[in-house]
Amino acid sequence: MTRADSGATRADRGASRAERGARTKLPPEEPAIPQGKGRGTAGYWLYLLPGFVLLLVIIVIPLIFNVYLTFTKWRGVRTPEFIGLDNWQKIFTDEHFWTSFVNSIWMVLAMVVVPTIVGLIVAALLFDVIGRKFGGKVGSFLRATYYLPQILPIAVAGIVIGWIFRPGATGAMNQLLGLVGIPPVDWLGQMPSALLVLMAVLVWVQIGYPIVVFMAALQRVDPELYEAAELDGANWFQRFGAITLSIIRPEVFVVTLTCTIAALKVFGPVYVITQGGPAGATLVPAYYAYQEFFTRRDIGYGATIATVLTVLVVIVSIIFIRVQSSLERKERAGL
């Protein structure tokens, strides 16, 4: 009780510090509307009621139910049978689970590492070179082009790619290779090409997001900084490292956090393109859980996989947020 209280006040203080940073003069503990007749903040809870009730019914209760299911054997009919830690024991020795886990790392490479690095370069080029030398219109047009795959339903994107990488001579990729005399490849039927295709799709889908975010962030950079650096004889790479990167670091953080979470949760492309195949080689945790739920009907085990995934997502989020706020604190202390 006391620990939770002190935690809350510490967090509140943190929030008020952030607010001061944003140049607001609002006292942190009082509502922004002057309180009539001493009603305080209590009345505002009424506004939270619908949101809280929905959150409870749709998120909190199912989540708890899901954790309970991890201790049961259940085929989805009759009542779940309590089996203690069996599912948890199974998951640690389950080869498929570890495969899916390792594949998550490949998904992070495809959805976070590559898009962020390429996105940084493209955004800097579009803003700094294309935008300045060839006009903002060219820059925005190219930015929109890179962004387009982002708004496609992932299922549709997956189908298109699955079709491009069809086995045999009818697939677009194989036809293209045929022109230079390479025999058709069974892209999705073997490793490592199946995983590589999956990753290529994710890069294609993701690339627009960092570009748009980084380009917007670059608008904060004062052009005079660049001009000054240029006069001082700094080359493009030096300016990029010293000015661009340091100014858009918050955006880099947000992009890597949101993309890492998305990469851990990835389901649609796997479902549509490889179905986890060949022989489970492109399995990811989300798809594995789905299979346990609806194909193998081992609900308890599916729930266990889903729970591990959830814990992983929460840990990653906490680490990111911690690192980010400690960096911010250091930066503020340095000023």
Nearest distance from C-beta of residue 321 to other proteins, angstroms: 9
Instruction: Tell which positions 11-50 bind other proteins, by CB under 8 A.
Output: 11-12, 14-15, 18-19, 21-22, 24-26, 28-34, 36, 41, 43-48, 50
Instruction: Tell which positions 288-317 bind other proteins, by CB under 8 A.
Output: 289-290, 293-294, 299, 302-303, 305-307, 309-310, 313-314, 317
Nearest distance from C-beta of residue 191 to other proteins, angstroms: 22
Instruction: Tell which positions 253-292 bind other proteins, by CB under 8 A.
Output: 254-255, 258, 261, 264-265, 267-268, 271-272, 285-286, 289-290
Decide if residue 107 touches other proteins (CB under 8 A). no
Pick from 209, 243, 256, 282 the residue near other proteins by CB under 8 A: 209
CA 118, 119, 122, 124 torsion-angle sign? negative
Report how far residue 115's alpha carbon sits from residue 92's, in angstroms, rounded to the nearest whole number.
Answer: 32
Which CB sits closer to other proteins, 11 or 102? 11
Q: Please provide residue 276's backbone torsions phi and psi, each rounded to the nearest 5 degrees.
A: 80, -10
- The closest of 325, 258, 322 to 18, measured between CA atoms, is 325
Among the candidate windows 93-101, 105-113, 125-133, 181-189, which touches other proteins by CB under 8 A? 125-133
The tokens describing 208, both together, are: 């627009």
For the chain, where are the E strands, in sequence order? 72-73, 81-82
Pick from 152, 182, 191, 228 the residue near other proteins by CB under 8 A: 152
Nearest distance from C-beta of residue 95 to other proteins, angstroms: 20
Binding mask 230-249 for other proteins (x = CB under 8 A): --------------------
β-bridge partners, 82? 72
Which CB sits closer to other proteins, 7 or 192? 7
Nearest distance from C-beta of residue 333 to other proteins, angstroms: 20
Decide if residue 228 touches other proteins (CB under 8 A). no
Among the candidate windows 82-90, 109-117, 155-163, 187-195, which touches other proteins by CB under 8 A? 155-163
CA 298, 299, 302, 308 torsion-angle sign? negative
| 113-288-186 Cα angle (round to 5) | 70
Q: Is 266 helix (H, G, I), strand (E, B) or coil?
A: coil
Say if residues 120 and 214 touch (Cβ distance below 8 Å): yes
Q: How many residues bind other proteins (CB under 8 A)?
A: 121
Say if residues 225 and 137 touch (Cβ distance below 8 Å): no
Could you write out the three-class secondary structure of 41-96? Answer: CHHHHHHHHHHHHHHHHHHHHHHHHHHHHCCEECCCCCCCEECCCHHHHHHHHCHH
